[in-house]
Amino acid sequence: MKKNFKFLTVLIIAIVAFALMSLPFSADLGDYSGSSDYGGDWGSSSDYGSSYDYSYDSDYDGVSGGPLVFGDFITVILIVVAIIIYIRIKNKKAGNTGPVAPGAQGVDRSTLKPISSLIAEDPMFTEASFKEKLSNLYVQMQNCCTAKDLEPLRPYLTDNLYAQFNRQIELLKQSNRTNRIERISVLDVELLGYNSDSVNDTVYAQLRTRITDYVVDDRTGAIVSGSNTAEKFMVYEWALIRSKGKKTDNSDESRIVNCPNCGAPVNLNHTARCEYCGTIISSSDFDWTLTSVKGISQRTSN
């Protein structure tokens, strides 16, 4: 009896934990935001977010007086769920976060050359305009996620990153849900440095942002995960590439290039797809293109 009850107890806890982890959660474009905070770049873990921990006595003998019946089974499930909910609420009110999961590992800054070296090679490159470009791109990315239309981002993302983001959008469409990302604010952009190989130059930047992030059911408008009031403070690391040796051209806002397949003119500010033959043009041949995004840290404030 004791062994059976211990087995059932462990099984129930595992099922409940799995169910809780499987609940849908909000996620900004790229799935870097989520239901649990991580990383440590926003200060101490007590500043934002919540977590829980609990234990049980593995030597407990179970219900005495007879075998475990269906009513007892349901009772144990309800007790486990109630304990989890109670501890979550208690810890949230107390600001007790416990251990915070680590975020992604950022680039080793000691391996990067300073941005001043890039400016020496490319005098038209300025930190101010580049930071503004990244801020605008971040806002555009989140708005495109809410609109479930990534085509406006096509000129600014590498093929692999575009495909990664597009899978997220397709899943939202298939489930009739919308990831609403609102109150978007880029708090700071820091250029960490750059490096080069035989093909590309790569600039690394850290973005600190604030968003609200939640998912709604398109059919009912109900919030199915996340919160439209809780603010998430995010830290990302971006890597942007450009063909080696290319220089910044600030002479014209519009970037008109010829399609390498059919020769037709393509405005890379509007699309990276040739409207005549459908060829995708790599904008990294002409300007900086986002190739990697890492989620370094998330803190949630209610």
pLDDT bucket at 219, cuts 50 / 70 / 90: very high
pLDDT bucket at 27, cuts 50 / 70 / 90: confident
- Contact call for residues 43 and 37 (beta carbons, < 8 A): no
Tokens 């930047």: give the residue: 205
Is the entire prediction scored with pTM above 0.75?
Answer: no
pLDDT at 99 over 70: no
Taking all residues of the chain, what is their mean pLDDT, rounded to a whole number?
77
- Ranges of CATH 3.10.450.240 domains, the chain: 109-301
Residue 10 vs residue 240, higher pLDDT: 240
Residue-wise over 130-159: b if at least 16 C-beta within 10 A, else e?
bbeebbebbbebbbbbbeeebeebbbbbbe
Note the residue count of the chain: 302
pLDDT (0 to 100) of residue 23: 41
pLDDT at 41 over 50: yes
- Contact call for residues 210 and 185 (beta carbons, < 8 A): yes
CATH architecture of 109-301: Roll (3.10)
pLDDT (0 to 100) of residue 53: 31
Percent of the chain past pLDDT 70, that is, above it, reads 61
Q: How far apart are CA 258 and CA 268, in angstroms?
A: 10
pLDDT (0 to 100) of residue 102: 86
